[in-house]
A and B are shown apart, each in its own frame.
Chain A
Amino acid sequence: IQLTQSPSSLSASVGDRVTITCRASQGITYFLAWYQQKPGKAPKLLISGASTLQSGVPSRFSGSGSGTDFTLTISSLQPDDFAAYYCQQLDTFPLTFGGGTKVEI
Chain B
Amino acid sequence: EVHLLESGGGLVQPGGSLRLSCAASGFTFNRYAMTWVRQAPGKGLEWVSGVSGDGRSTWYADSVKGRFTISRDSFRNTLYLQMNTLRADDTAVYYCAKDLSAGGASQNWGQGTLVTVSS
Contact residues of A between 29 and 55, Cβ < 8 Å to B: 33, 35, 37, 42-45, 48, 54
Q: Decide if B105 is an interface residue (CB 8 Å cutoff).
A: yes
Fill in one digit per residue for B58-99: 1 if any A CB lies within 8 Å of its CB, else 0.
Answer: 011110000000000000000000000000000000010000
Contacts of A43 in B (CB 8 A): 37, 45, 95, 106, 109
Contact check, A95 vs B103: say whether CB atoms are below 8 A apart.
yes
Q: Are the CB atoms of B44 and A99 closer together than 8 Å?
A: yes
Nearest A residue (CB) for B46: A97
Q: What's the least CB distance linking B70 to chain A, in Å?
A: 12
The residue in chain B whose Cβ has the minimal distance to the Cβ of A48 is B105
Knowing A90-B103, A90-B104, A94-B59 touch, does A42 contact B109 (C-beta < 8 A)?
yes
The reply on A88 being an interface residue by CB < 8 A is yes
Complex CA–CA separation, A44 to B95 (angstroms): 12
Decide if A35 touches B59 in the complex (CB within 8 Å): no
| 8 Å CB contact of A93 from B100, B103, B105, B110 | B103
Q: Using C-beta atoms within 8 Å of the partner chain, give the interface range for chain B.
A: 20 to 34
Cβ contacts under 8 Å, A54 to chain B: 107
Q: A42-B109, A42-B110, A45-B105 are in contact. Are A93 and B59 (CB under 8 A)?
A: yes
The chain A residue sitting closest to B48, CB to CB, is: A94
**Contact string, B26-68, partner A, CB cutoff 8 A, digits 1/0?**
0000000001010000001111001000000001111000000
A26 to B: closest C-beta gap in Å: 16
Decide if B111 is an interface residue (CB 8 Å cutoff): yes
List residues 61-105 of chain A with CB under 8 A from any CB of chain B: 84, 86, 88, 90, 93-100
Q: How far is the CA of A45 from the CA of B105 in the complex (A)?
A: 8
Taking Cβ atoms with an 8 Å cutoff, the residues of A that contact B are 33, 35, 37, 42-45, 48, 54, 84, 86, 88, 90, 93-100
